[in-house]
Amino acid sequence: MKWISVVLGALMALPALAEQTCPPGQYQVCLMGCFCAPIDPGQAGQVLKDVEAMASSSLTFALRQARDEATASGVQPIPLHIRAQLEPWYDFAVLDAVRYRVGDEQQMSAANVMLQNPDVNAVT
C-alpha cells in the first residue's frame, strides 16, 4: 500500500518537474498554471496597470449610466430614520446629496448586474 502512495506522489509531481519551453519572444507565466505569453516578466506591473485602467473606465461608465437612468426614473432623498443613523459618520453635505431609488428588476444596469452576485446585498 505504501508503494502505491509513492508511485501516485511521483506521478503527481511530474507536471511540476516538466520544464515548459516557450517559443522565442515569449516567457513562461505561472498563475494557477503555467503558460507561454508574449509578456516579459519585468513588464507585468505595467500590463496589470493597463488592465486596471481599462476595467475601471468601463466600470466608471456603467455606474454613471446607471446613476443617470435612476435619476431620470425618479429618485428620493435618504429617509430620515436612515439618515439619523448615518449622521455620526458622514458630513451633512454628503447626506443632503444622497438620493436613492428602489430598483426595477427589468432594467439592465450596472447595479442590477452586480446584484446578481449572491455576496452583494446593495449597490451604492
**Which 3-state string (H, E, C) describes the chain?**
CHHHHHHHHHHHHHHHHCCCCCCCCCEEEECCCEEEECCCHHHHHHHHHHHHHHHHHHHHHHHHHHHHHHHHHCCEECCHHHHHHHCCCCCHHHHHHCEECCCCCCCCCHHHHHCCCCCCCCCC
pLDDT higher at 89 or 124:
89
| Owning domain of residue 57 | 42-124
**Number of domains making up the chain:** 2
pLDDT at position 11, please? 47
Residues 19 and 69 in one domain: no
- Whether the model pTM is above 0.85: no
Residues 60 and 111 in one domain: yes
Residues 66 and 87 in one domain: yes
User: Can you tell me the mean pLDDT for 28-55?
Assistant: 75
Residues 12 and 57 in one domain: no
Rounded to the nearest integer, the mean pLDDT of the chain is: 76
Residues 107 and 76 in one domain: yes
Residues 60 and 32 in one domain: no
